[in-house]
Amino acid sequence: MQESMRAPCRPPTRADVERPGVEPPAVHQPASGGPWCEGPGLPRGEDARVDTATEQALLFGAAQTAMLFEGLAGFLFVVKDRAGRYVSFNASLLQRLGLPQDASLHGRTVTELWPDALSSRYMAQDEWVLSRRSPLLYQLDPILLPGGSAGWCVTHKYPLCSAGGQMHGILCLSKDVPGLRRDADDAALVEAVDAMTKTCERRHSVAQLAGMAGLSQARFSALVRRVFGMSPQEFIVRHRVRAACALLRQDGESLMDVALGCGFYDQAQFSRQFRRVVGMAPSAYRRQWTTQASGAMPWPWEPWVH
């Protein structure tokens, strides 16, 4: 992939973000706010109207980030508004779709650009982020590589929120997984990885996950190590810890309830694994977040999976 040799796509303009004459999409307000975007005093109901100027400023600022990924082989970065329309992207998107560098995709959606088998998954991920107001990380996704061949990538999606907690868009970063072949069992493999990242509280065994993927336990473990750099067991533990961080940022749940709700067997195991991954006790993390949330920091810190 010679992305560094390609001409960069043009920087986004305010016109791409503002799109005069286009009615802004309705505010997406889930029934219960998730832990990532929601801060103290998040407006609700009639007070939750979107500040259009704030939205445009946030999207325009996020759009500039796409230029940081120009020339980095194997990375796809896009910014979408709340309606799923592309606001900005690096040149890698055009290369994957086989389009010229001067093609304009601003305002288009995934269903207009990607094959159905891919766009349906990408849309479902966007809805997951919007409905929960939380990041969706370490997704193993089928994708088109630069040049149009079939490949795999690991995707992270973040909600783009104002300081007050309102949703204004989605940031998406995907990194290609070189040399991992696509085959007829793609859907089964995706289902198994989704089980580890989206339902880690269900205490899936490696044998169950391998069976879900249609692979032997040894082959599945080797694949997870290759893609994510750790064993399936450790990958699941770290996702449970991330889920626990989200619950600890909300008031009312005891440490035991958090432990059981995230798939740990008891509070002792939870505290031990949490301290190992995060570097502090769960109670200390909760106190730290409470202090930060009362100040000017709108984004919670969470441990990376690796």
Instruction: State phi, psi for 52 to the nearest 5 degrees.
Output: -60, -40
What percentage of the chain exceeds 70 in pLDDT? 78
Mean pLDDT (the chain, rounded): 80
pLDDT in tens, 14-43: 454 444 343 433 322 222 334 445 433 233
Predicted local confidence at residue 51, as pLDDT: 58
Question: Mean pLDDT, to the nearest integer, of 191-196?
Answer: 94
How is the beta sheet containing 150-161 ordered, strand by strand? 86-89, 75-81, 167-176, 150-161, 136-144
Predicted local confidence at residue 297, as pLDDT: 45
pLDDT range class, residue 267, cuts 50, 70, 90: very high
Q: Is the pLDDT of residue 123 over 70?
A: yes
Question: Would you put residue 150 in left (φ > 0), alpha (ψ -120 to 50) or beta?
Answer: beta
Predicted local confidence at residue 7, as pLDDT: 38
Cβ proximity of 185 and 214 under 8 Å: yes
Q: Is the pLDDT of residue 244 over 70?
A: yes
Q: Is the pLDDT of residue 5 over 70?
A: no
What percentage of the chain exceeds 90 in pLDDT? 54
Cα 88 from Cα 170, distance rounded (Å) = 11
Under 8 Å CB-to-CB from 197, ≥6 apart: which residues? 136, 137, 138, 139, 239
Predicted local confidence at residue 245, as pLDDT: 92
Higher-confidence position of 57 and 105 = 105
Question: Mean pLDDT, to the nearest integer, of 134-161?
Answer: 93
pLDDT range class, residue 141, cuts 50, 70, 90: very high
pLDDT range class, residue 165, cuts 50, 70, 90: confident
Cα 6 from Cα 111, distance rounded (Å) = 26
Cα 221 from Cα 209, distance rounded (Å) = 10
pLDDT in tens, 60-106: 777 777 777 887 889 999 999 989 999 889 999 999 999 998 888 98
Predicted local confidence at residue 301, as pLDDT: 53
For the chain, list the domains and their CATH numbers: 3-176 (3.30.450.20), 186-293 (1.10.10.60)
Predicted local confidence at residue 134, as pLDDT: 86
Higher-confidence position of 289 and 275 = 275
Lowest mean pLDDT among 170-179, 182-191, 293-302: 293-302
Lowest mean pLDDT among 16-30, 45-59, 247-261: 16-30
Predicted local confidence at residue 121, as pLDDT: 96
Write down the pTM of the prediction.
Answer: 0.77
Under 8 Å CB-to-CB from 75, ≥6 apart: which residues? 69, 90, 92, 173, 174, 175, 176
Cβ proximity of 178 and 184 under 8 Å: no
Q: Where are the alpha helices (DSSP H) in the chain?
A: 14-18, 52-64, 91-97, 110-113, 116-132, 186-198, 206-213, 217-228, 232-248, 255-261, 267-278, 282-293
Instruction: Quote the tokens at residue 216.
Output: 């032997």
Higher-confidence position of 222 and 1 = 222
